[in-house]
Amino acid sequence: MKKSDLPVKHCATCGLPFTWRKKWERCWDEVRYCSERCRRQKKSAPASNQ
């Protein structure tokens, strides 16, 4: 599988796109943030286009 074929989501905090990762294989539907930093800042920043 090519990296370009992987699913993409947009981060709920920063709005940047991020791609599927192997560690998210079982919980991809629940993943909302691109990083721990964005997850920690979720209350201080408004949600963007999603």
Q: Cα separation of 24 and 22, whole Å?
A: 5
Instruction: Say if CB 13 and CB 47 are below 8 A apart.
Output: yes
pTM of the model: 0.69
Low-confidence residues of the chain: pLDDT under 70: 43-50
pLDDT reported for residue 34 = 92
pLDDT reported for residue 5 = 85
**Which amino acid makes up residue 31?**
V
pLDDT reported for residue 2 = 81
pLDDT reported for residue 33 = 94
- Upper half-sphere CA count for residue 5 (Cβ side, 13 Å): 2
Residue with tokens 């090519």: 2
